[in-house]
Amino acid sequence: MPFITTQDRTPIFYKDWGTGQPVVFSHGWPLNADAWDPQARLMAENGFRSIAHDRRGHGRSGQPWNGNDLDTYADDLAALIEELDLRDIILVGHSTGGGEVTRYIGRHGTGRVAKAVLLGAIPPMMLKTEANPEGLPREVFDGIRKGVATDRSQFYQELSEAFYGANRPGADVSRGTRDAFWQWSLQVGIKGAYDCVKAFSETDLTEDLKAFDIPTLIVHGSDDQIVPIVASAEKSSEIVKDATLKVYEGAPHGLSMVAPFKDVFDADLLAFARA
């Protein structure tokens, strides 16, 4: 399997499919690159080169004690991009992966980047503060940490319900989809999973968003129960220059994996990449 090794000797697993303009996918917490398989296949079949990595602590990558923060995640992404000498990239990030993409641009610029897609992404900041009253209270994230630290298997099973909107009337989410979420989540080391909660909830990415100087597509579900749209996409779309905001009415956080929203997102992603 292909790996790169970071400066602190952490192995980062990645997939590399197809040829053409590179599309680099960053996954959400607590998943791995497999969550992007349908879109990675779609892009590779349509003349693009799809690359998706497992974030440190997740999936098949190493599980170091340190570095489970957005600065290091962004630097790991930079290491992958530089090792593969990727240019004219379309960066695509979901949830925490959207934060990773945003911090990458804030720290490393857009010299190698042509476009960006933020899907259900965490920027600018998820935690409720005096300056960010639309965010979620700390108690929500304390509850996530407690779930990870005590009975994470059961916690991940329950989390999949809200993640895909399976708790909404009329939702059509298969048991297999939720089981896949649970399986991917259990591949995350407990230290990385626990630390990442602080990373995705408390990191202020406002200044990083101001560094975007490329066409950016921001997609969010109006019924996202994990990353509320009022604290994320609505704000990000006002900060990012040349941003296009698309709101999918009634869509959940994991909209790229469930019908009918998956097909709409796939079409929007391909059209944006080709434009």
Q: Are 26 and 97 in contact (CB under 8 A)?
A: yes
Digit-coded pLDDT (tens) for 70-125: 999 999 999 999 999 999 999 999 999 999 999 999 999 999 999 999 999 999 99
Query: For position 188, which CATH number holds?
Result: 3.40.50.1820
Whole-number pLDDT of residue 147: 98
Digit-coded pLDDT (tens) for 161-190: 999 999 999 999 999 999 999 999 999 999
Q: Edge to edge, what strands does the sheet with 216-221 contain?
A: 3-5, 11-17, 48-53, 21-26, 89-94, 113-119, 216-221, 243-248
Instruction: Based on the residue annotation, tell me whether 224 is a catalytic residue of this protein.
Output: yes
Whole-number pLDDT of residue 242: 86
63 phi/psi in degrees, rounded to 5: -120, 70
Catalytically annotated residue among 58, 237, 253, 256: 253
Tokens of 67: 């570095």
Digit-coded pLDDT (tens) for 121-161: 999 999 999 999 999 999 999 999 999 999 999 999 999 99
Number of domains observed in the structure of the chain: 1
Catalytically annotated residue among 95, 201, 232, 256: 95
Instruction: Based on the residue annotation, tell me whether 108 is a catalytic residue of this protein.
Output: no
* Residue 1 predicted with pLDDT over 80: no
CA 154 to CA 54: how far, in whole Å? 23
Tell me the average pLDDT across 15-26: 98
Q: Which residue range forms the structural domain that includes residue 222?
A: 3-274
Whole-number pLDDT of residue 80: 98
Tell me the average pLDDT across 233-255: 97
Digit-coded pLDDT (tens) for 27-54: 999 999 999 999 999 999 999 999 999 9
3-state secondary structure of 25: strand
Which is it for strands 21-26 and 11-17: parallel, antiparallel or unpaired? unpaired
Tell me the average pLDDT across 195-213: 98
- Residue 140 CB-density burial (10 A; 0-12 exposed, 13-18 middle, 19+ buried): middle
Instruction: Based on the residue annotation, tell me whether 253 is a catalytic residue of this protein.
Output: yes
Catalytically annotated residue among 50, 224, 236, 256: 224
Whole-number pLDDT of residue 100: 98
Spatial CA neighbour of 93 closest among 45, 24, 35, 32: 24
Whole-number pLDDT of residue 228: 96
Question: Can you state the angle between helices 190-202 and 96-108, rounded to 10 degrees?
Answer: 70
